[in-house]
Amino acid sequence: MSDLSGELIDGRYELIRQIANGGMATIYEALDTRLDRKVAVKIMHEHLANDEEFVGRFIREAKAAAALSHPNIVAVQDQGWNQSGIPAVFLVMELVEGSTLRDYLFEKGKLTTQELLHFMSPVLSALAAAHKIGIIHRDIKPENILISQAGRVKLADFGLARGDLIGNTMTAESSVILGSVSYLSPEQVQRGVADSRSDVYSLGIVAFEALTGRKPFEGESPIHIAYQHVNETVPAPSTLNPDVPPALDDLIVRATSTNPDNRPKDGEEFLQELRQVEALLDPKRRQLSFELDLGVTPIRDKSRTPTRVSQENKVQTSERVEPMVAKKSPRESTAETARERKRRTSARIRRNRWIALFVTLAVAVVGWYVIVGPGNRVVVPSVAGMSVKEAKATLSPLGLTYKIADEVFSEDIPKGKIISSRPGGGGRISEAGTVLLFLSKGAERYTIPNLQGLTVESATSVLQSEPLVIGTTTESFDPKIPEGSIISTSPVAGTKATRGSSINIVISKGIQQLALTSYVGKTGDQALNELEGEGFVVTVSYEFSDTSVLGTVISQVPNGDSPAPKGSEIQIVVSKGSESVFVPSGIRGLEKSAAIAMLENSGLVVKTILTGKNKKKFVTHISPAEKTKVKRGSQVTITVG
């Protein structure tokens, strides 16, 4: 997939640089321009984005990880399909700046027991949380165990969670995960099924590799490695690293057992057994860690008793102030009282006069408003958001009528509801007036037509009737759609789009032509696996041959002189060996059962003639004679006595 650094995804995520590239997707460091923070954006490869199964698996990762909230699991924050610019199915995750367990193994070769326990405990804690709600990771490997710069261990990549891995044969679809075959459980290889015990097996393989510095099984091809996982037993780590404690050694041996019933049943049980091993290795070690907890600062107890002045203090205060007030004569007090009473009476009269004036003015204004002013107009109630029927029921009691002035599109008001009125709510209109209503036609959306199988010119003609345009154009091989015709659109046909939306199309390049190799003289297993892996359908037949070794290819059609279409049939004939065999020498004098076994192993049918009375019978005669060339399956008669 081309480097998309610099692209703006979904109008929000600005891709900065590539940080990882896998079989299904590429991961970029990106900036969330809306929240101004760095994130990791995982974008599916273009050639897989048209495969519904892969897109489903990609979206399943978002749902599987989003269902989990755990400090040791990489958090998923967003998921979607880029609607503007280059088409891309994307997943947004928290950005873990640091390294992977694979980086540690590259640097150190192998880990000590304590270092391994440091990684295993948080990973198992994360798996226990996933298994508890029925989510199986299915792709545990050192590359998916992340270590942040702060030392936090996180489990990433739930892209294969609850998804099928491989069937009975390796196909082109499964090739995208062959990099993880070193950690696949036997049941995943044999039957393509997995449960929580499969994750336990994979993590056991990771622990073996971390302690020994090498994987338990290695081979020239993924098929060979998968075969060993099914048919061989993972050795104890102590056979390669004598420093591994016996308790940890036994736990890893059980976790990597070929029989799932012998393993810990899930991440929680595995974690508990690992903690028992930790306690055995270091009895003083705390079994529960509260390093992330913060101490609680006690709240200081404040006095609830308010400051009050007692009655006694009030009395004392009055007594202290009273001597400071000068006393007056009785005559002076009487004159002053009369003047004060007159002053109060005059103020009341003036106040009453102002009140009378205000009431007169108010009556005049109200009379003008009601008789000749706007008071004789009706207040229009708000009808926004109502249906026409509801608006009629609201306006009719006020003597008002309505008229639909216009119908317009609205992103906020549902179809058939009123957007606004004229006059608006709270406005006034004359009695028996008409209120103009503006009705919503709903959101402006246009259905994307089915363009599959059309040429670009025909598709452009179809879209002329809709306010939609052709967007970006990409090409892809397709065995069913003719070359030059449209395979698919993004967004897909039948979905709704806004006016002027771009419809991105994928155009067929026809059937992909693949280079074909001649496998004459090579083994039939090699021919079958490699041809099916390249996308061909292989038909195998068997024939006798005096010139070709048993199990090798005698002939092939087509023979590999020219390329062949992907998915086409390739016929191979595999040798059953020579049709003729020689009667083995040394039969005479052999005990009866040994002679019969030797002849039958040579592909011959044995007839026995008994003579004599000896209990133990030996061959006295054979026909045809020894070293005689006969056809495979011929009858040989032996006389025993």
Q: How many CA atoms lie within 13 A of 12 on its CB side?
A: 19
CA distance 511 to 522: 28
The total number of residues written for the chain in this structure: 641
For residue 50, count other CB atoms closer than 10 A to its CB: 17
Closest to 220 (Cα-Cα) out of 174, 181, 172, 274: 181
CA 91, 94, 95, 97 dihedral sign is negative
CA distance 54 to 48: 6
Q: CA 580, 582, 588 angle in degrees (round to 5)?
A: 150
| 133 close to 184: Cβ distance less than 8 angstroms | no
The single residue listed with the structure tokens 């004939």 is: 573
The single residue listed with the structure tokens 């989510």 is: 135
Q: Is 139 known to be catalytic?
A: yes
Pairing label, strands 153-155, 378-379: unpaired
Closest to 417 (Cα-Cα) out of 381, 453, 390: 390
For 382-391, give one letter per residue: b (16+ CB within 10 A) or e.
ebeebeeeeb
Phi then psi for residue 295, to 5 deg, are -65, 145
Structure tokens at 422: 């004229």
CA distance 554 to 57: 41
Strand, coil or helix: 180: helix
Q: Out of 139, 199, 249, 266, which one is annotated catalytic?
A: 139
Which runs of E-coded beta strand occur in 35-81?
37-44, 76-81
CA distance 101 to 210: 9
For 296-325, give one letter per residue: b (16+ CB within 10 A) or e.
eeeeeeeeeeeeeeeeeeeeeeeeeeeeee
Closest to 490 (Cα-Cα) out of 44, 1, 6: 44
CA distance 166 to 138: 12
Pairing label, strands 635-640, 605-610: parallel
DSSP string covering 290-340: -TT--PPPPPPPPP-------HHHHHHHHHHHGGGSPP--HHHHHHHHHHH
Residue 146's beta-bridge partner residues? 100, 154
Structure tokens at 452: 């599959």
Closest to 271 (Cα-Cα) out of 68, 64, 129: 129
The single residue listed with the structure tokens 């393989």 is: 205
Residues classed as catalytic? 139
